[in-house]
Amino acid sequence: MTEVYLNGKYVGDVENPQEFVDHIVTERRKNVLTDNLNVLYNEKNNIIEIESSKGRLRRPLIVVKDGKPLITEKHIAQLEKEELSWTDLVSQGLIEYLDALEEENALVAFTEDDLTPEHTHMEVSTLSFLGVCASLVPFSNHNQSARVNAGAKNQKQALGLYVANYLIRMDMDVNLLQSPQVPLVRSAMHTISEYGKHPSGQNLVVAIMSYKGYNMEDAIILNKGSIERGLGRSTYFRPSIAEELRYSGGLIDEVGVPDKEVKGYKSEKDYRLLEGDGIIYPEAAIAEGDVLIGKTSPPRFLSSMDEYNLASNLRRESSLTVKHGEKGVTDMVLITENEEGNKLVQVRIRDLRTPEVGDKFTSRHGQKGVVGLIVNHTDMPFSASGIVPDLIFSPHGIPTRMTIAHLLELVSGKVAALGGRYVDATTFDSEKESDIRNELLTLGFRENGTETMYNGLTGEQFEAKIYVGNMYYLKLKHMVANKLHSRARGPIQLLTRQPTEGRAKEGGLRLGEMEKDTFVAHGASLLLKERFDADKTVVPVCEECGLIAIKDEYKNRHYCPVCGDDVEITNIELAYAFKLILDEFKSLCVYPKLQLKSMY
Partner 1 sequence: MDDVLKEYSKQLPIKIIDEVKKSVPKNVSKSKLKEIMENILEEYKSMKVAFGESVGLISAESIGEPGTQMTLNTFHFAGVSEMNVTMGLPRIIEILDCSKSLSTPMMEIYLTSPLNKGKGIKEYAEKIKETTLGECIKEVSVNLGNSTIEVETDDNKMNILKITKNKIIKIVNTSLKGYTVKESGNLIILKPRGKEDTVNNLFKTKEKIKSIYVSGIKGITQVLPVKKGEEYVIVTAGTNLKEVLGMEGVDSSRSFSNDIREINSILGIEAARQSILNEVTKVIDVQGLNVDVRHIMLVADTMSISGLVKGITRYGVVSEKSSVLARASFETPLRHVINASISGEKDELNSVVENVMLNQVIPVGSGVPKLVVRKE
Task: Return the residues of window 571-600 that contact partner 1 according to CB under 8 A.
Answer: 573-575, 577-578, 581, 585, 588-591, 595, 599-600
Q: Single out the catalytic residue among 66, 99, 171, 218.
A: 218
> Among 187, 189, 186, 167, which Cα is nearest to 176's?
167
Task: Return the residues of window 213-242 that contact partner 1 according to CB under 8 A.
Answer: none
CB 124 within 8 A of CB 60: yes
**Closest separation in Å from C-beta 574 to partner 1:** 5
**Candidate residues 30, 446, 483, 522; the one interacting with partner 1 per rule CB under 8 A:** 522
The count of residues interacting with partner 1 (CB under 8 A) is: 30
**Candidate residues 532, 539, 545, 580; the one interacting with partner 1 per rule CB under 8 A:** 532
**Closest separation in Å from C-beta 548 to partner 1:** 14
Give me the 335-374 binding string for partner 1, x by CB under 8 A, dash otherwise.
----------------------------------------
Read off the DSSP letter of residue 185.
E
**Candidate residues 521, 538, 553, 555; the one interacting with partner 1 per rule CB under 8 A:** 521
**Closest separation in Å from C-beta 591 to partner 1:** 7
Read off the DSSP letter of residue 396.
G
Clarify whether 218 is annotated catalytic.
Answer: yes
Residue 151: C-alpha distances to residues 91, 195, 370, 413 (Å): 36, 16, 16, 17
- Give the C-alpha separation, 280 to 290, whole Å: 10
**Closest separation in Å from C-beta 500 to partner 1:** 19
Please report which helix (H) or strand (E) contains residue 471, including its range.
strand 466-475
**Closest separation in Å from C-beta 529 to partner 1:** 5
Q: Where are the beta strands (DSSP E) in 284-432?
A: 285-286, 291-293, 295-297, 316-317, 320-321, 328-337, 343-353, 360-362, 368-375, 382-383, 391-393, 423-424
Q: Measured from the CB atom, is 484 or 581 closer to partner 1?
A: 581
| Plot region of 73 (φ>0 → left; ψ -120 to 50 → alpha; else → beta) | alpha
**Candidate residues 421, 516, 550, 596; the one interacting with partner 1 per rule CB under 8 A:** 516
**Candidate residues 100, 525, 561, 562; the one interacting with partner 1 per rule CB under 8 A:** 525
CA 266 distance to own-chain centroid: 35
**Closest separation in Å from C-beta 534 to partner 1:** 9
- Give the C-alpha separation, 113 to 209, whole Å: 42
Phi, psi torsion values for 326, nearest 5 degrees: -105, 155
CA 579 distance to own-chain centroid: 41
For residue 584, count other CB atoms closer than 10 A to its CB.
10
Q: Measured from the CB atom, is 269 or 536 closer to partner 1?
A: 536
Q: Measured from the CB atom, is 410 or 548 closer to partner 1?
A: 548
**Candidate residues 363, 374, 535, 541; the one interacting with partner 1 per rule CB under 8 A:** 535
Give me the 544-573 binding string for partner 1, x by CB under 8 A, dash otherwise.
-----------------------------x
Give the burial class of 464: count Cβ atoms within 10 A of its Cβ; 0-12 exposed, 13-18 middle, 19 or more buried.
exposed
Site residues, partner 1 (CB under 8 A): 516-518, 520-526, 528-529, 532-533, 535-536, 573-575, 577-578, 581, 585, 588-591, 595, 599-600
Which residues are catalytic, by number? 218
